[in-house]
Each structure stands twice: as C-alpha cells, then as structure tokens.
Amino acid sequence: MKILCFGDVVAQSGLDALCKNLHLLKKEFSADAVIVNGENASMGQGNGLSAADAEALLAAGADVITGGNHSFRQKSLYGMLDDRNDLLRPANLHGSCPGKGYTVLPVNGVNLLVVNLIGRVDTDLPASCPFETLDRILKDMEGQYDAAAVDFHAEATSEKLALAHYFDGRVQIFFGTHTHVPTADAQILPKGCGYITDLGMCGPSCSALGLRPDIIARKLITGLPCRFEPAATPPVLQGALFTLSPFLSSCTKVERIEKKL
C-alpha cells in the first residue's frame, strides 16, 4: 500500500497547483491514498484554511486534510471540522475546540488511522503533551485500524525525532510539517516506521516559506508588523511517498517528492 503525503499548502498558487495536479500525481505514483496538510491554503484571505478551499482539496483527490497552528484562523471551517471525518486539526488541542484530531480512513479494504498532532516547542497554541495524546489514541483505537500515519506539525526537529522514535513500531508512517522546508532525512526507523522530519510545502518557489522574501527581511530587520504576501513565483509541490509492507506492519520505503511547475 502506498500513501502519498504533501506538505503545507501555501496561498492560492499552491492550492491551484495541487488541485490541478493531484489526480495525475496519484496515478503517477500509484498511490492508494493522499494526505495533505492544508492549513495555509487560504493565505492572503487571513491565513488558515477556508471551507471553500478545503472543499477544493477534497474534490481534487485529498483523502484526509490535516492542520496545525492556523487551523482555526478561518471561522468558515468550524462547521466542517465538526461534521467531516476527512478534515483534522491537532488532536492535542483542547477538547472544546472545533473538530477532531484523528480518523480511520478505509483504503482498499484496510483501515488506516490518521493522527494530527502539534508540537509544543516554539508554537503559539496551548497544547497538551503529544506523547501522552498519541499513546491514548493508539490505545483507544486498538483493534480498529491496520496501520497508523501521523502528521506532527512542529517547529523543533528534536521534538519530531523524539516522538517518532518513541512510537517506532506502533506507528508505520510519521512525517513532520510546519517549517515549509523539506528535509533530506527520509528513512526507515529501527522498528519499521517510515519517517521524514518535514515534507516541505506546496506553494510559491524561490520564496521565504512561500512569502515574499523582501517583506520577511524587512520584518526581521525592523521588528515592525507587516502584512505577509505570497511570492509571485512558480509553485512547487513537495511531499513524500510511503510504501507499506504487504502485512502493513512496517514501512519499506520512503521517497521524497518535489515537482516544480
């Protein structure tokens, strides 16, 4: 079984590029399911992910959309977060927040548990311990899934690596999101978990995380508030393809993906 995962969708150009090409990419890589982190797709509309943009990603072929620290920026999404099982927000946020943090995705006769978590190092949301949260979810869902995939939306590479190693053998797919920069450490951990620290992003290339570099430079130099604007450059689609063993007990291959359009 092959699971295709894409990093944070950034701005309209990233959204349009992924929606236009997702069906072809799924076919090219013979993917059985697609997971997309969509939390920046509506950048330019106040950041986050709007209901309309979420619908566009799902219609284009995303099987599950995950979120992060911008999950609640767009109030139009709140109803969808509560009503749909294919749209997630981090599971370790407060239980009163809209939505849910995990779902079971049927894929070709087997059940894939998809979990969305957020880190606690240098993030701006109050979150409970991701270790304790994931441990509880895996115990609560025991017997209801055949393999598990985790999107850990976090800043610190050490936090991502620590969580992945801690659950190696209990989780088959583990990928990081949030930094918008793809890492070169795609690997299989000792007990069979496929891992990469960050998938990267789907958004404007030659940019500062999808944004105009001159604006970010000015903010860093002056410390003054500024309005973030997406870079007007061709989009790039970044992610990874995870191949699971026939019995779904482990990951056998992790391949980085980058498509420049």
Domain ranges of the chain: 2-260
| 248 vs 245: CA distance, rounded Å | 5
Given a cut of 90, whether residue 225 has pLDDT beyond it is no
Over residues 64-86, the mean pLDDT reads: 95
pTM for this one?
0.96
Residue 70 falls in the annotated catalytic set: yes
Name the percent of the chain lying above pLDDT 90: 92
pLDDT score at 61: 97
Q: What's the token pair of residue 26?
A: 């799924």
Compute the distance between CA of residue 153 and CA of residue 160 in angstroms, rounded to an integer: 9
Mean pLDDT of the 44-72 span: 93
Question: Tokens 């690596």 correspond to what residue?
Answer: 161
| pLDDT tens digit sequence for 227-254 | 888 999 999 999 999 999 999 999 999 9
219 by DSSP, 3-state: which? helix
Whether 196 shows a pLDDT value over 90: the answer reads yes
Structure confidence at residue 223 (pLDDT): 93
| Average pLDDT score over the chain | 95
Average pLDDT estimate for 12-41: 97
Q: What is the pLDDT of residue 244?
A: 98
**Domain 2-260 = CATH 3.60.21.10:** yes
Active-site residue (options: 23, 70, 94, 178):
70
Per-residue pLDDT, 77: 95
Please give the C-alpha separations between residue 66 and each of 39, 114, 207, 228, in angstroms, as whole numbers. Answer: 7, 9, 23, 23
